[in-house]
Amino acid sequence: MTRETDDKRNFALREKSGEETSVFTGKMPRQAALKAARKLDPSDSEDAAPREEFRLRERGTHKLHIYEGWAWREDAPDDSPEWMPETVTEANVSKQEIEHLEEL
């Protein structure tokens, strides 16, 4: 099966219990992981941000993408639009591994 270049994929945030609580969309797993990381409790700086592990299951597959993510607060850019808040949440992720689930 080939994918179109503009196809979006859905990734479900999976808890340790196996419950899937949220869904994030992206062309690549990392894009969805960055969206998930922005939902973490942000720290005051990137260096002080605690790393948290989270798991994203690609919908329609048995692949479980495991990431370490962190989030922090940063001042908005000087050229930001008026509607943007003064501080924004930034995030970063690091892929740890991919697991293949036996069953869903």
Strands 63-75 and 9-14, how do they pair?
A: unpaired
Counting beta carbons within 10 angstroms of the beta carbon of residue 37, is it exposed (0 to 12), middle (13 to 18) or buried (19 or more)?
Answer: buried
pLDDT in tens, 42-98: 999 999 999 999 999 999 999 999 999 999 999 999 999 999 999 999 999 999 999
Listed in sequence order, the residues at least 6 apart from 22 whose beta carbon sits closer than 8 Å to its beta carbon are 12, 13, 36, 39
Which pTM was predicted? Answer: 0.86
Cα dist. 6→2, 9, 83 in Å? 12, 10, 29
